A = this chain, B = another copy of it.
Amino acid sequence: MHTINVKPPEVFQALADSTRIRIVRLLAETREVACLCELVDSLLEPQYKLSRHVKVLRQAGLLSAEKEGRWVYHRLVEGIPYLDRLHEALKALPDVDGSFARDLENFRGRMCLREAGRCRIGIQTPELAAGGE
């Protein structure tokens, strides 16, 4: 079910967007699993937007998704040599304006709201649930 066919341009194309880089970078740095609403509260981007970006990453073979009740948890696909090295490259990216540090801080704070290791609340910034800021 997972990427048997590797299309390099598609993989890099998937990372050719700042929002998608933020998502992957967050998951690469923390090696965590995250549902969509946790990503929304971390990146402070509209839900439909992140939903679509996550889909692109999944289709490129970078992420895998696992449904759990109403929530869908996303994680990095690991164990594939060129992907693992790509993650290393992402972790080595500089954070000139500190925007990634902010994402990371939001994410860690959001993780604290989990119960029994799972997300039990929804989006905490309502105006992002349907778009707009």
Question: Is A93's CB under 8 angstroms from B88's CB?
Answer: no
A9/B5 in contact, CB under 8 A: no
Across-interface contacts of A13 in B (CB, < 8 A):
12-13, 16
What are the residues of chain B within 8 A of A15 when measuring CB–CB?
Answer: 8-9, 12, 16
Interface residues, chain A, with chain B CB atoms under 8 Å away: 5-6, 8-9, 12-13, 15-18, 21, 81-83, 85-86, 88-90, 92-94, 96
B12 touches A16 (CB 8 A): yes
Interface of A is mostly: helix
Give the distance in Å from the alpha carbon of A8 to the alpha carbon of B95 in the complex.
10
Q: List 7 A-B contacts (CB under 8 A).
A: A5-B96, A8-B15, A8-B21, A8-B93, A9-B16, A82-B92, A82-B93
Q: Which residue among A8, A21, A81, A85 has the maximum number of chain B CB atoms within 10 Å of its CB?
A: A8
Q: How far is the CB of A82 from chain B (nearest CB, A)?
A: 4
Given contacts A15-B12, A21-B8, contact A81 B92 (CB under 8 A): yes
